[in-house]
Amino acid sequence: MEQASPPAVGTPKLSFFYRLRIALFLLFGAFAMIVVLFAAIVVLVLVAALALTGKGLIVLAKLAKVIWIALLPAWAVIKMGWRTLSFREPPVQGRRLKREDAPMLFTALDDMRRTLRGPKVAEVVLSNELNAYAITRPLGGYWFIPLRRRIISLGVPLLQTLSADEMLAVVAHEYGHLSGHPSRFDAFVYRCRWHFLQMLQQTASWQDWASRKFAGFLNWYIRKFDRLSFALCRDSEYAADAISAHYAGKDIAAAALARVNVASGYINGHGFWAPIYARTETEAEPTVRPWSQLPALVRPRHDQNVSADLLRNALDTETGTHDTHPALADRLAALGVDAEAFRDHRIEIRPVAESSAAEAWFGTNLARLLEPFDREWQDRVRDDWRRRHEEQRAQQERKSALAAARDEALQNARALDADTAWGLLEMRLDANECEDPDRELLDFIAAYPDHAQSRLVWGRANLDQDEARAAAALREAVLLDPACAGDAALALARHYSSKEDGDERAKSARYALMWRHYAQGGTA
């Protein structure tokens, strides 16, 4: 038995006349392009026809200047038209997923196609983004070819964080954009906007005079179309959410939206990558497989307080005026889901589901499918990883040498030299091992009054708390070691630029006078 079609969410809010304006603007763009190209071709054909006749050659010779003036703009227009016609959309980046790799996913796509009477999805590709999207790409990438391939891209990080049901809700959302439900015109405009923005990026590489002029027209037209169609494209997001809720259930669709926000904040922040890069201290080569091991890396270290804060921040974010995707709170409201259930922890959202969609859909194929993405990441970070490892090793060797020098001084009952004592204190400061950093710095300065770097560090840290003493400490640091002048001047400039009194030119002049005064031994 065929399922009922999902509700048409959002469409009644936009009037027929609004859609008519968009349609007329699209027709205007197509008409302008056709007229310009046709006029240019007519001019070139006429000139060529005259050149092929005897009398035409005489006419061309007599009217050479006039013909030349007409020919140059015509050629420029032809060149601009060729630029536009030859524009190719870039291929979708990722690795193609076969039906036997994830039969549950392709069965669900078949069901969506039957229910919505939508187009066939030609390809499902895996990417390394924490994202999912659907596009239609014309054959060969040429935008004017009507035959198109429907492609859905699924990010591996997303597949490894959402559950199978939640990921199905995401897939249904993306297929909603392809299906054109509830309005095929809206889906067409949504796709046009994406293709136009791709074209606009391409015009940045057009350098000759004629192409730059045409790029100026495209820039005006596409940006105007972007503003005009913005409300419709945002409405399409709500309609796609309705399809998502229809297939997966509104609670699961809502949980998917919430988990995407939590996972994005957790993975793009320090919660995921910091422990991985901490391995540079002991591992000379990157052996971790971040995408294959993502669930195993996150689940044991998951902190529910961090997840709750990330979700709360997402719920507090208001819908912006530049992104067609509404904010989380507005999308939940449109689905009829109470956002407060997420805010007060009645519904707990972790960054990774108990069983990920990748684990459920790929099964024994999981390692094979994700291995290329892990290898690609390892190749990309290998040089930086090695550099970090060498820095960590050098720092550890320095720490060991300083500790040995300290032990030797204690064993021989003699005082540490200033450089060794400062190296030990500096490492403790960097590692946040000092209970009272300010007091330890002052004690060090008292013990080693001729040490410039310690005065620079203390003065820089205390400009906001004790401006006069800190400025004097910076001056003393420069008098002891002129190499400290640049860092001290920068600290003073940043400090005084935060004050609201005076205009920028007066403040800049004051910095220069003030620094010359301090460097010459003056007082604050």
**166 assigned to some structural domain:** no
User: How far apart, in whole angstroms, are the C-alpha atoms of residue 18 and residue 232?
Assistant: 9
- pLDDT tens for the chain, 524 residues: list them: 344 555 544 444 677 888 889 889 989 888 887 777 676 677 667 666 666 665 655 655 555 555 555 566 666 666 666 666 666 777 888 899 999 999 999 999 999 888 888 889 999 999 999 999 988 888 777 766 777 888 999 999 999 999 999 999 999 999 988 887 667 787 778 778 877 887 777 777 766 666 677 778 888 988 898 888 888 888 888 989 999 998 889 999 999 999 999 999 888 876 789 889 989 988 999 999 999 999 999 988 878 888 888 888 888 888 877 778 899 999 999 999 988 888 877 778 889 999 999 999 999 999 999 999 999 999 999 999 999 999 888 888 888 888 787 777 767 666 788 888 888 888 888 878 888 989 989 999 999 999 999 999 999 999 888 888 988 898 899 889 988 888 888 888 778 766 655 555 545 555 555 555 555 554 44
Residue 32: inside a domain = no
In a domain, 397, yes or no: no
Residue-wise DSSP of 127-138: ESSS-EEEEEEE
Residue among 6, 19, 15 at smallest CA distance from 240: 6
* Any domain includes 288: yes
Residue 128 within a domain: no
Which amino acid is located at 162 in the chain?
A: L
End position of a domain, from candidates 354, 373, 394:
354
In a domain, 344, yes or no: yes
CA atoms within 13 A on the CB side of 26: 18
Look up the domain containing 296 and give its range.
254-354
Beta carbons within 8 Å of 286's beta carbon, 6+ residues apart: 279, 377, 378, 381, 382, 385
For residue 221, being part of any structural domain is answered with no
| DSSP string for residues in 416-449 | PPHHHHHHHHHHHHHTT--SSHHHHHHHHHHH-T
Q: End of a domain among 354, 386, 417?
A: 354
Residue whose structure tokens are 């297929």: 175
* CATH assignment of the domain containing 494: 1.25.40
> Which pTM was predicted?
0.72
Instruction: Single out the residue in 302, 332, 354 at which a domain terminates.
Output: 354
Tell me if 442 is assigned to some domain. Answer: yes
Q: Nearest-5° angle of CA 351, CA 249, CA 160?
A: 30
How many domains are contained in the chain? 2
